[in-house]
Amino acid sequence: MLITSYFMFKADNIIIKIANSIDLEGIVKLQSENQKSKGGTLSSELNINQIEEMMKV
């Protein structure tokens, strides 16, 4: 699997880990704050149940 990503900034203190159910509310909030209507780059939004289902895969 090829995964490509980019960062708009460089920071040495970024920690990336696998999310779990404790992270759901934060994921939904972050997603909402990054919608195009708020100046972000996301064009669609998943609800908390959809995100939780994706975590099960």
pLDDT value at residue 35: 94
Compare 39 and 4 and report the one with higher pLDDT.
39
42: which strand partners?
35
Axis-axis angle for helices 24-33, 48-56 (nearest 10): 120
pLDDT digits (tens, 9 = 90+) for 17-45: 888 999 999 999 999 999 999 999 999 99
Q: What is the rounded CA–CA span in Å between residue 57 and residue 15? A: 22
What is the pTM for the complete model shown? Answer: 0.68
* Per-residue pLDDT at 46: 95
* More confident of the two residues 1 and 43: 43
